[in-house]
Structures are given as structure tokens and as C-alpha cells.
Amino acid sequence: MLETSKEVLEAEQRFLTGENFYVQHFLGLRKNENGYVFRVWAPNARQVYLVGDFNGWDESLPMEKREKSGVWEISTSLPEEGQLYKFLVEQANGRKIMKIDPFAIRFEKRPGTAAVVYTIAEKKWHDNLWRGRQKKTKTLKRPMNIYEVHASSWQHYEDGQPYTFDELRKELIPYVKEMGYTHIEFLPLMEHPLGASWGYQLTGFFALSSYYVTPEEFRDFVDSCHQNNIGVFVDWVPAHFCINEDTLPYYDGTPTFEYEDPNRAHNIRWGTICFDLGKPQVQSFLISSALFWFEVYHIDGMRVDAVSSMLYLDYDEGPWQPNHEGGNRNFEGYYFLQKLNAVIKLAFPQAVMMAEESSSETKITGMIESGALGFDYKWNMGWMNDVLRFYEMDPIFRKDNFHLLTFSFMYMMNEHYILPFSHDEVVHGKKSLMHKMWGDRYKQFAHLRNMYTFMMTHPGKKLLFMGSEYGQFLEWKYDEGLEWGNLEDELNKKMQTFTAKLNALYKQERSLWELEDTAETIEIIDADNTAESTLTFIRKSKTKKDFLIVALNLAPIERQNFAIGVPYPGSYQEVLNTEKTEFGGTWTKNNTSCQSVEQPFKQFDYQIQTILPALGALIIKPEKIHTS
């Protein structure tokens, strides 16, 4: 809280220069000894009034303008906790319009849009042990398997009401723990007026959506996650905002949060408005929002949505002008993202910053000093698109398109990647992951188990959208709960069992993540057997004898006496067979232990032979080997 006029002046100056990263302590609603002080940035407004149910929504509370910054302010003892308010803005052209408080931390339930006079209660956290562990080891050296969740549609009541975060704390956390995921990632939780946007068209960048009940409940949810060794990520959208005129657009009647150039301000593709990322005040606003979620809610990381739209001037469908160098780089967006990551890492070194970005022209992860944006991870959209195309394909054509499965090995070290099968792939007629798979129902589940094994053993962190873990057949619907009734079907239930087994194996086997940031993490055994559509490779740990062999069969033909090159002589034991009956397959037991023979295979002096199930995947581990 700002106590003195000197502190207020300093906060104002930092806001104007884009260096106030806790701007919510200056703007918005602040409690003081005499009641409340309200401040809002509207530099070109003729007049601004504080209105609410404490003054009949009339013009009896005019605000005064701070000429230096264009911030309007008023102190009053009239409001009480829980009452509603807005700002009545007389815009530059004389038009009067009710506007939200951009810095509000609470809004009334939609379809209402007024802010709430609200103070988040103090909390005693119980996650020191979790937070301490996160500081000790970088995430690159730890397993990361993310369960992506849309909070209001994970489960519904019969009357259509979603679970509150208190109810999610009791139901979702035990489920995620039982399934073996390491993190939960939520689609945006910030205030948004339309559920159909899934939270990607925000209005309140500091406010937990009132749809999910109270901020205190979400804090308790995060605290409980941490006590159960589960991290929490949230999606955040600094690229654009909701076009509703009572929210941020043209706040004082002139471009305020948005670009002056209407072609840059309006995002035609999404029907939204783009932030002017070069404006210092906007930088203060957005970076303060990001830090707020880390500080107040103890989240562990953020996925920044739509990064490409912030990097390239020609990303949208409308006309665009080249930059001063004649290219398509949006320098304001580029430098803003570097600044965002630098500030967050300074305040929270253990924070995980992730980018949803689909181009290859800009280095996304890595040191800012090297020209990268400073993110920890980038979603590997190319891998996801290629893999889904491959698994949707009739196997007869796979031998001619095997590059879709193997091309990612060529660039897997270019960035630090997350391999995402996200919400975007199971909506708008794209079908669910299970429904995408080729073949009849039995083969679809076999493909899904195979594909998940490839994801889990391919270098990169993992992300899977809710419902996909048990093979939900219907597309995801944002306004309905998941099809939990599917689990009454034996194949769905066994698919869920398989996913939990695979998740547990991933966490257990250090070779799947310990060297993930180095090329030594993987050695290809055979990526050339396109005729039989098989792929084999090794994942390695720091310990010489600790590695896994992965064998994938992408054809509906069982491969007898299947040869696999191995680095050392000895015996090898199968630890996962995707075609076991417990997972929905037909195999009642694993292959027997394999003894190596001294026979060259590719770069190896030894090989083993096993049976590779039709459309199956095997994970094989050294049992007794000789490395000398």
C-alpha cells in the first residue's frame, strides 16, 4: 500500500516509464485509513466519475486528474466491502460511457461486469517445502508431465453448474495425483465475459473469474496442490483483449491500451483488440498482472498465449506495414517479451515461462543476451501437427510419410520444448484424439497407446488435455463436463489405466528426463525401416547402465523375431508393452527376457530379438549387461 505522497509520485513516475511492475498498488482500488482511494488511467478523458451502488450510479463523485500521468483519482469513505462500482468516463469526444476498472481484483458474476469493492484476505501458506524444492533444481532436470484443464468443464453438476475451486481441490487434486501428473495447467482463469472464448478474451487481468467463486478458494487450491507435490500453471493472454466497449477498448475515447494504427489495433482473426506493447504504461500494466499471479496465488508458471501474434506484423489477416528495416518483425512485441521474462525471472527465479508459438524465425527459449526471448519452454506445434497427421493416416501410406514421425529428431535441440496434445486439437470439428486415430475402435485405442508412448519417450516435456487420458470419443465442449460415463466402458477404463502406468514410468525412469537438455539424451537405433513402419531409439541418463530402449510398430502387422541394436551385451527386460490385456490389448504376458547376440546392427555390435506387437510399442530396459 502506498502511504505517502512521495511514494505515490514515485509509483506514478515508474508507471509512465514502464517500470512499475506492481502498478495495482497505485491504480485501481486501494484501502486506506479513511476508506478507499480509486485511481484509473484515462489521459484524454474530459472527466471521470466514480459510480456504484453506494451512490446510486450517479455523477456525485467526480474524480480529479493528475495532469502528469493522466490518472484520475478520488478518496471516499462511501463504499463498503462487497459493493459494486465502475468508472463513468466522459471521453475525449464528449461521449459518456461506463467502463470497468482495469485493475480490479474481483468482478460480479457474469453477465454483470461491475467490479467489486474487495480485499483479498491474508493467508498463511503451507507450501514452503514445495517452493524450496523448486529453487534447488531446474525444471530441465526434473520430469514435467502436465494435465491441461479447463476449470469449469472438468466436471459439471446435473444442473450445469461447474465445480468451484473448493470442490476441485477435493476432486481434481486426488485424481491428478493418482494419474501421476506432475503439474496442472489451467486455461485462462482471469475474468472474461464469454465462456465460449474459453478465457482467451480477457477483461480483468488481475481478477480471478467470478465464475470460479473466490480468490481465497483458488489460493487454497494451489496450496493444496503444492502440499501434494503438484505444480500449477495458468495461461495468460498479453497479446490481445476483449472488444466489449465497456472494458478496455479506447478507454478514454482515444487509443489507450491499444495501438494508434487501427490495422495494428484490431485483430481480425480473433475479433479482439491488440495491446500496444511498446507503450510504457501498457508494459507496466501487463507485467504487473503477470507478477500479481505469481505473488498472490503462488502459481509455478505461465503459458503465454499467441506469442507469434506479438512477434510478427503480418500475423493477422488484415493489411500491415513493414517495420523501419522493411521486415515483418514487431520490435515492440519482441522487446516486451524479453522484458517480461527478465522481470519475472528477477522476482521469481524458479518461475516457469512457456510460450505458445508456432514459427521458427525467432529463438524463443534461452538467454535474452543471446537474442532469445528468455522463455523456459516452447510448445512444439510442429511435432504435434506432424504426429497427429501420421497417426490419423491409413498405415498403408505411412512408409511414404515416415518423416512425419522422425523429422523432429532433426531439430529437437533447437529449443527447450513441451510436446502438447492440447485443447486446441479436440474442438471445432477436429475430433477427439481417440476419434482421430485410424481404424476400428480397438485399433484406435491401440494407436492412442502407441502415440502416448512416443510422446512420453520423445525428448521434451509433456502436456495432455483432460479427457484424452481415457480416450474420450466426443469432442471437448466448454459448456459441458467431460464424458466421465465413458469409464463404464472397459476399453476407456483400461486406457485410463495405461495412461497412469505410462505417467508413473515417466517419473520413475531418469533416462526420460535427466539429460533432456543435451543431445546425449537420445540415440537413434533405426529410423530407416520405413517399409515395416517401425522406429527404435534409446533414451539415456547420466548413469551408463541406466537407459531405455523404445520400439514402435506403426503397422497393424506383428513383427516376429524383430531385431533391435543394443550398445552392450547382456539381458534385456520388457518393462512396458502397450498391447497387454490390462491396457486393452490382447497380450496376456510380456515378452520374455532377451539375451543379446554378437551380431552387428547399424552402429551397434550387438542386437536382441523380440516380438513387436501389431500397432504396439515396447519399452525395454537393461537387466544384466556388461559395459566394460
Q: What are the boundaries of each domain within the chain?
A: 5-116, 144-321+357-382+407-437+460-509
Q: Pseudo-torsion of CA 399, 402, 404, 408, nearest 10°?
A: 170
**476-486, pLDDT tens digit by residue?**
999 999 999 99
Provide the residue count of the chain. Answer: 628
Cα separations (Å) of 28 from 170, 260, 285, 290, 320?
Answer: 34, 24, 11, 16, 34
The residues facing 72 across adjacent strands are 40, 65
**234-259, pLDDT tens digit by residue?**
999 999 999 999 999 999 999 999 99
Residue 270 has φ and ψ, to the nearest 5°, of: -105, -5
SS (H, E, C) 265-313: HEECCCCEEEECCCCHHHHHHHHHHHHHHHHHHCCCEEEECCHHHHHEC
| Assigned CATH for 5-116 | 2.60.40.10
165-179 vs 215-227: helix axis angle to the nearest 10?
20
pLDDT band at residue 161, thresholds of 50, 70 and 90? confident
Mean pLDDT of 408-416: 96
**366-395, pLDDT tens digit by residue?**
999 999 999 999 999 999 999 999 999 999
Round to whole Å and give the CA distance between 354 and 293: 15
Helix (H, G, I), strand (E, B) or coil at 401: coil
pLDDT at 159: 83
Mean pLDDT, the chain, whole residue set: 96
Of the listed ranges 45-49, 73-77, 138-142, the least confidently predicted one is 138-142
Query: Is the pLDDT assigned to residue 3 strictly greater than 70?
Result: no
Long-range contacts of 158-161 (CB under 8 A, 24+ apart): 160/479
Share of the chain above pLDDT 70, in %: 100
Query: Is the pLDDT assigned to residue 197 strictly greater than 60?
Result: yes
**464-509, pLDDT tens digit by residue?**
999 999 999 999 999 999 999 999 999 999 999 999 999 999 999 9
| Assigned CATH for 144-321+357-382+407-437+460-509 | 3.20.20.80
The residues facing 240 across adjacent strands are 274
**SS3 breakdown of the chain: % helix, strand, coil, rounded to 5?**
30, 25, 45
pLDDT band at residue 136, thresholds of 50, 70 and 90? confident
Round to whole Å and give the CA distance between 249 and 201: 12
Q: Which three cell numbers stand for residue 18?
A: 514502464
Query: What is the C-alpha radius of gyration for the chain, rounded to an integer number of angstroms?
Result: 27
If you ran DSSP here, which 8-state letter would residue 520 be given?
G
Helix or strand (DSSP H, E) at 610 = strand 606-612
Same fold, 5-116 and 144-321+357-382+407-437+460-509: no
Mean pLDDT of 280-303: 98
Cα separations (Å) of 213 from 33, 131, 168, 233, 403?
Answer: 28, 26, 12, 19, 48
Round to whole Å and give the CA distance between 253 and 46: 10
Cα separations (Å) of 85 from 9, 81, 111?
Answer: 25, 11, 15
pLDDT band at residue 2, thresholds of 50, 70 and 90? low
Contact present, 567 and 594 (Cβ < 8 Å): no
The catalytic residues are: 305, 356
Amino acid of residue 513:
W
How many DSSP H helices and E strands does the chain contain?
A: 14, 29
CA angle at 144 for the pair 139 and 146, rounded to the nearest 5°? 135
pLDDT at 1: 52
If you ran DSSP here, which 8-state letter would residue 356 be given?
-
Which of 369, 337, 332 shows the shortest CA–CA distance to 356? 337
Cα separations (Å) of 260 from 111, 204, 263, 323?
Answer: 30, 22, 9, 15
pLDDT at 212: 85
